[in-house]
Amino acid sequence: MVSTGYLVATTPLRLKYVTKIRDVAYDDLVFMLHYRVTAILLLIFSALLTCAQFFGDPIDCIKGGDVPDRIVNTFCWVEGTFTIPRGLTKAIGVEVAHPGVEKYDKFLDDDEVIEHKYYQWVAVVLFLQCCCFFVTHVIWKVWENRRMECICNDLYHPVLDESRRKDCEDKMVAYMNATSYLNKSYAYRYAFLELVNAFHVILQFIITDWFLGRQFITFGFKYFKIIPDVYDHDNPVNPMIKVFPKITKCTFWRFGPSGSVQKYDNLCLLPLNILNEKGYLVMWLWLAFLLIVSFLKVGQRLMLICIPSYRWFYLTSSKEMIPRDVLKKVQSKSTYGDWFVLHNIARNINPLYFRDLMICLAEHSIDDPVFCKPDPQYMGAGPSAPFDGREYPDADEEEEEDSRYRRATPPQPPPPPNSGRKEKKTINIPPGY
């Protein structure tokens, strides 16, 4: 009770964390669907069931005999209830009182019964599932270690001081030159966690299916299949009653006044199953969508790893202002890990700043320690910094310039020979020293 109350009290704080918008994004939309949208849905569902369970009447039984109502309700809530499958298809009001509820003797009948013991654990299981969807996010946050935030510095701000912008760009270029060919582990770790996310959705399907008595995997298909029949008066039985029955049976045994064992058959109303049915339907639809999107993302990630031309086409599709020859130069000396870092940088900084970065990387080799300046032929109109006119020529151009300077400068006369005497130095001492 205390732990559940703590969950309800801290739900706004948890929602604030998962809905927080970061300045620098270090994961993509599909990755965020797992630990943001899915976690929010499960957390809200768990909080609603917790409130209905502890602040309402989760079960209400029609007792027989002189047993107090509170004892019967508590017993049936703790021990669980059951329905009889043979009574699910019988006519209501003629053969049975409610679907799945008919006469049954535990010691005489060999009929199968469906036990329902899950409902008191639904809120806890949903909360644990919510925590499971945070595991990959926490792992990636530890592995990433704010690397992208440090790389981007303040370039994600739309308005930045000119000197600060140049300093950040120089540091970014220096980092890319220093860590080229060293970003493979950073990129492949993220791809591995994307694969883990996809298989984790399958695992959640299996866990929920086991928890609901092997009825969850096909739950969505059955629900949409019987929607037309639910409102058909000739066939009013809803097959979903097998999974989430509203009326169930509960058998209570006690000793009578004479010492003999007395049996009490009780009808129990489970109002929480109305919320469980709708909540698990939404959960099934969302997990099915998340499973499809996750595996599509894994397929795209494999294409980006295996096909270099596709990854650069994927980058240029969103950054059309980068010249094509610049992309070819950067592509020729970059691995998938370098592309992954550049792609994340492009998602976080101003497009004009990213264009300048790509031009710098294209003009200078990997081992060049000089911080580059954008080439004026690529500079266009916009808020980007104007070119300062300085160029960094090649070694041949520098040598040719030096020889031309030496030819244009007349030779200087040699200095007079030294007579061998040391030159006297005069030291002026200020008066009064």
For 263, phi and psi rounded to 5 degrees? -110, 135
CB atoms within 10 A of CB 374: 21
pLDDT at position 200, please?
96
pLDDT at position 386, please?
39
pTM: 0.73
Query: How confident is residue 400, by pLDDT bands cut at 50, 70 and 90?
Result: low
Of 138-147, 317-326, 362-371, the range with the highest mean pLDDT is: 138-147
For 254, phi and psi rounded to 5 degrees? -155, 165
pLDDT at position 192, please?
96
Of 58-67, 87-96, 219-228, 284-293, the range with the highest mean pLDDT is: 284-293
pLDDT > 50? residue 80: yes
Is the pLDDT higher at 368 or at 47? Answer: 47
Query: How confident is residue 43, by pLDDT bands cut at 50, 70 and 90?
Result: very high
Q: Which residue's entry shows tokens 């790893």?
A: 305
CB atoms within 10 A of CB 373: 22
pLDDT at position 411, please?
57
For the segment 288-296, the average pLDDT, to the nearest whole number, is 96
How far is residue 315's CA from residue 324's CA, in Å, rounded to a whole number? 11
For the segment 24-30, the average pLDDT, to the nearest whole number, is 87
Query: How confident is residue 326, by pLDDT bands cut at 50, 70 and 90?
Result: confident
Within 307-423, residue ranges assigned H as helices are: 308-316, 324-332, 336-348, 351-363, 395-408
pLDDT at position 194, please?
95
- How large a percentage of the chain has pLDDT more than 90? 20
- List, for residues 204-241, the tens digit of each pLDDT value: 999 999 988 888 888 888 877 776 655 444 444 566 77
pLDDT > 90? residue 312: no
pLDDT at position 406, please?
57
pLDDT, the chain, mean: 75
| Domain range summary for the chain, segments of one domain joined by + | 2-145+184-303
pLDDT at position 201, please?
96
Is the pLDDT higher at 64 or at 299? Answer: 299
pLDDT at position 234, please?
44
Query: How confident is residue 299, by pLDDT bands cut at 50, 70 and 90?
Result: very high
pLDDT at position 396, please?
55
**Structure tokens given for 361:** 């990387």
Is the pLDDT higher at 374 or at 347? Answer: 347
- List, for residues 93-123, the tens digit of each pLDDT value: 777 777 778 776 654 456 678 788 887 888 8
pLDDT at position 5, please?
47
pLDDT at position 237, please?
55
Report long-range pairs for 53-58 (Cβ below 8 Å, ≥24 apart): 53/4, 53/120, 53/123, 53/272, 54/1, 54/4, 54/5, 56/271, 57/271, 58/119, 58/120, 58/270, 58/271, 58/272
Evaluate whether 165 touches 385 at the Cβ level (below 8 Å): yes
Query: How confident is residue 288, by pLDDT bands cut at 50, 70 and 90?
Result: very high
Residue 251: beta bridge partners?
A: 265
Q: Which residue's entry shows tokens 């030294």?
A: 418
**Structure tokens given for 4:** 């559940």
**Structure tokens given for 230:** 């639910």
Residue 247: beta bridge partners?
A: 269
Query: How confident is residue 79, by pLDDT bands cut at 50, 70 and 90?
Result: confident
For the segment 328-355, the average pLDDT, to the nearest whole number, is 83
- List, for residues 162-173, the tens digit of each pLDDT value: 777 777 777 777
- How large a percentage of the chain has pLDDT more than 70? 70
Please, what's the b/e burial string for 207-243 (b: 16 or more CB within 10 A of its CB; e: otherwise)? ebeebbeebbeebbeebeeeeeeeeeeeeebbebbbb
